[in-house]
């Protein structure tokens, strides 16, 4: 697949057209397609709703397999009016902004205040989201960073170098969008989730996953824990299920993508999980989580009195000193170390071993229950050698029980973007707005960022989309509203935002077709969606 794709991509790079279908398996057809391309006329009515309607747009489509089409869309060109600048602070009130502005003036820094009127679609507040105090006008990012150092030397903290093309205001771009469309009725392969190195703790780049599984294409999927200070590195920060096995609990109330490998229609739903451990002595206790470090709940949305909230809160780590966590072999070889009690269960749920600290081996069949605080006491009282513990999981999707069949897969994401053909961005409900820091939603939802998106068309076709970002001159990314409009224009009636930013990646064959936004290059990720023949 890799060599074939390279044969296809070389002529594609030189074609300027709106839409050309290339059959990548026959090189002669590529030559014929390139010849036809010279007479193609751009179809304005199909252009993406990014920037003004008259922007130039080029599309190249390649058939990767029966029922799978890859399309690359390049839209417009670098905006001459955009530049690099420094956001000194995002504050909630004009009075705060004015006070900071006056201080900057006294220190010799000319600045201006920008009113940010836009709030999340489901935000009930009507006042402006906040105010940005901004300094400087630079053509080069290096010059902006040098000036940023001057601000630091004067005692200012928390400032950021930004590119105005990413503000969310009108710009000419440019944008680079990659689209995979899958017709489940025609595609005879599988659309399957994949864990990095097949375990929770085994983060891996998408290109490595694609090559290891001989995928014809792939895309990054859900949110996950990046660093150990927020829990288990690689832990899915939200629900993950594959082949009927629940691997990670839900961020309760947050949207997820539900897939089936048996031809049933995919869906996007608000998902919650309820997991309970029932002892043979009749005692029952809530299981707080699956396959993660006890006490740290990334993106919150958990159970059992988590601090500071049980509601979803994105990119935030809630805590709980008393948790019961179940580990299965998909986590890795050993549980997370620490203080507490562990109980080893065989595949019948019988207690076969008790440990007085955390960090022991996980059996290939069966599981380990790890308890801290009050949960450790519960295990001591109700999980003695020879007793049985049955762990039962219930999944609720849009208020209805969801049976986890062996063919079912679920991937976390959020927020929802489209519902029944209408833009329906529930960013507040799903935890993307922090009341104490309105700048969080501004940076995450209103500013343009790299995006990974999934959608479902009315005919059941699946759309997997990436929008490159944080790359001035290449692609400026998209905000939540632009992402929703892009998915709608591509034909989706339901759509969801997946993990973006430095995680955004798509492969065709073994080749990465997205541009990584991390300075270090392609980011190792926790899970992906692969197309496998």
| Predicted confidence (pLDDT) per residue in 444-473, tens digit | 999 999 999 999 999 999 999 999 999 999
Q: At the topology level of CATH, where does 269-401 sit?
A: Jelly Rolls (2.60.120)
84-166 with 269-401: one CATH topology? no
| Predicted confidence (pLDDT) per residue in 343-400, tens digit | 999 999 999 999 999 999 999 999 999 999 999 999 999 999 999 999 999 999 999 9
Give the integer Cα–Cα distance in Å for 431 and 434. Answer: 7
Q: What is the DSSP string of 52-103?
A: -TT--EEEEEEEEETTEEEEEEEE----TT--EEEEEEEESSHHHHHHHHHH
pLDDT above 60 for 5: no
Mean predicted confidence (pLDDT) in 402-408: 84
Give the integer Cα–Cα distance in Å for 17 and 41. Answer: 7
Q: What would you report as the CA-atom Rg of the chain, rounded to the nearest whole angstrom?
A: 25
∠ CA(217), CA(223), CA(228), 5° rounding?
Answer: 120
pTM for the predicted model, two decimal places = 0.92
Taking CA atoms, 124 is separated from 118, 129, 435, in Å, by 12, 11, 12
CATH of domain 84-166: 3.30.70
| Predicted confidence (pLDDT) per residue in 210-242, tens digit | 999 999 999 999 999 999 999 999 999 999 999
pLDDT above 90 for 433: yes
pLDDT above 50 for 18: no
Give the integer Cα–Cα distance in Å for 82 and 477. Answer: 14
The pLDDT score that the predictor gives to residue 405 is 84
For the chain, the structural domain boundaries read 2-79+172-222+413-532, 84-166, 269-401
Q: Which of 268, 222, 200, 253 is nearest to 413 (CA)?
A: 222
pLDDT above 70 for 1: no
| Predicted confidence (pLDDT) per residue in 270-291, tens digit | 999 999 999 999 999 999 999 9
Taking CA atoms, 25 is separated from 2, 5, 28, 62, in Å, by 11, 8, 9, 10
Residue 126 φ/ψ region, left for φ over 0, alpha for ψ in the -120 to 50 degree band, beta for the rest? alpha
> Cβ atoms within 10 A of the Cβ of 33, count?
22
- Are 492 and 457 in contact by the 8 Å Cβ rule? The answer is yes
> Cβ atoms within 10 A of the Cβ of 167, count?
22
Q: How many helices (H) and strands (E) does the chain have?
A: 8, 33
Mean predicted confidence (pLDDT) in 166-190: 95
* CB-based burial label for 393 (10 Å; 0-12, 13-18, 19+): middle
| Predicted confidence (pLDDT) per residue in 492-516, tens digit | 999 999 999 999 999 999 999 999 9
Least confident of 73-82, 194-203, 245-254, 319-328: 73-82
Mean predicted confidence (pLDDT) in 9-33: 31
């Amino acid at each position: 697949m890799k060599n074939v794709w390279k044969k296809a991509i070389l002529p594609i790079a030189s074609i300027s057209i709106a839409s050309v279908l290339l059959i990548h398996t026959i090189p002669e057809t590529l030559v014929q397609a390139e010849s036809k391309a010279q007479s193609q006329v751009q179809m304005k009515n199909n252009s993406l709703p990014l920037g003004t309607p008259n922007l130039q747009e080029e599309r190249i489509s390649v058939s990767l397999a029966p029922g799978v089409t890859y399309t690359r869309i390049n839209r417009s060109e670098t905006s001459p009016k955009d530049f690099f600048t420094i956001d000194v602070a995002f504050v909630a009130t004009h009075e705060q902004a004015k006070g900071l502005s006056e201080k900057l003036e006294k220190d010799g820094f000319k600045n201006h205040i920008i009113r940010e009127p836009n709030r999340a679609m489901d935000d009930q507040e009507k006042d402006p989201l906040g105010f940005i105090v901004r300094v400087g006008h630079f053509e080069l990012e290096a010059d902006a960073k040098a000036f940023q150092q001057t601000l630091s030397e004067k005692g200012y903290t928390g400032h950021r170098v930004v590119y105005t093309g990413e503000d969310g205001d009108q710009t000419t771009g440019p944008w680079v969008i990659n689209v995979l469309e899958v017709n489940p009725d025609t595609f005879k392969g599988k659309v399957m989730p994949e864990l990095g190195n097949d375990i929770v703790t085994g983060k891996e780049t998408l290109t490595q996953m694609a090559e290891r599984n001989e995928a014809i294409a792939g895309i990054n999927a859900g949110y996950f824990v990046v660093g150990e200070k927020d829990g288990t590195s690689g832990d899915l920060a939200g629900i993950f299920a594959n082949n009927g096995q629940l691997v990670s609990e839900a961020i309760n109330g947050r949207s997820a993508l539900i897939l089936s490998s048996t031809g049933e229609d995919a869906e996007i739903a608000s998902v919650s999980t309820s997991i309970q451990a029932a002892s043979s002595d009749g005692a029952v206790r809530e299981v707080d989580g699956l396959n993660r470090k006890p006490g740290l709940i990334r993106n919150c949305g958990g159970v059992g009195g988590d601090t500071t909230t049980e509601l979803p809160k994105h990119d935030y780590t809630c805590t709980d000193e008393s948790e019961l966590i179940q580990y299965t072999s998909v986590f890795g070889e050993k549980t997370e170390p620490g203080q507490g009690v562990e109980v080893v269960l065989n595949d019948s749920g019988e207690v076969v071993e008790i440990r007085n600290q955390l960090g022991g081996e996980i059996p290939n069949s069966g599981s380990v229950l790890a308890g801290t605080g009050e949960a450790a006491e519960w295990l001591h009282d109700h999980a003695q050698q020879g007793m049985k513990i049955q762990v039962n999981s219930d999944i609720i999707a849009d208020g209805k029980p969801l049976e986890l069949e062996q063919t079912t897969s679920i991937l976390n994401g959020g927020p929802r973007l489209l519902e029944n053909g209408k833009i329906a961005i529930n960013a507040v409900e799903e935890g993307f707005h922090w009341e104490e820091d309105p700048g969080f939603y501004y940076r995450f939802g209103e500013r343009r960022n790299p995006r990974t998106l999934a959608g479902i068309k009315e005919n059941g076709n699946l759309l997997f989309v990436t929008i490159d970002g944080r790359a001035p001159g290449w692609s400026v990314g998209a905000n939540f509203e632009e992402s929703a409009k892009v998915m709608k224009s591509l034909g989706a009636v339901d759509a969801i935002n997946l993990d973006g930013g430095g995680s955004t990646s798509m492969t065709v064959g073994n080749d990465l077709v997205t541009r990584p936004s991390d300075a270090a290059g392609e980011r190792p990720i926790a899970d992906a969606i692969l197309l496998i023949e």
